Structure 1
Amino acid sequence: MSTRPTPHPRSHYSVFRDISTRWMDNDLYGHVNNVVYYSWFDTAVNAHLIEQGALDIHRGAVVGFVVETQCNYFAPLAFPQLVQAGIRVAHMGTSSIRYEVGLFAEGAETAAAQGHFVHVYVDRASQRPVPLPETLRDAALSLQTT
Structure 2
Amino acid sequence: MSDRIRDDRSQYPRLVPLTTRWGDNDVYGHVNNVVYYAFFDTAVNGLLVEAGVLDIAAGPVIGLVVESGCRYFSAIAFPERVTAGVRVARLGRSSVRYEIGLFRADDAEAAAQGHFVHVYVDRGTRRPVPLPEPLRGFLGGLLPAASEPPPP
Amino acid at match of 2:4: P
Q: Determine whether 1:55 maps to 2:54.
A: yes
Measured against aligned partners, the alpha-carbon deviations of 1:114-136 in whole angstroms (never above 9, x if no partner) come to: 01000000000000000000111
Alpha-carbon deviation of 1:7? 1.1
| TM-score, normalization by structure 2 | 0.93
> 1:109: which partner in 2?
108
Unaligned runs of 5+ in 1: none
Identity %: 57
Unaligned runs of 5+ in 2: 146-152
> 1:42: which partner in 2?
41
Alpha-carbon deviation of 1:5? 2.3
> 2:20: which partner in 1?
21
Measured against aligned partners, the alpha-carbon deviations of 1:81-110 in whole angstroms (never above 9, x if no partner) come to: 010000000000000000000000011100
Secondary structure at 2:126 match in 1? coil
**CA separation of 1:93 and 1:22: change in aligned 2, threshold 3 A:** same
Q: Distance in 1 between matches of 2:131 and 2:105?
A: 33
Q: Distance in 1 between matches of 2:73 and 2:84?
A: 15
- What does residue range 77-116 of structure 1 map to in structure 2 within 5 Å? 77-116=76-115
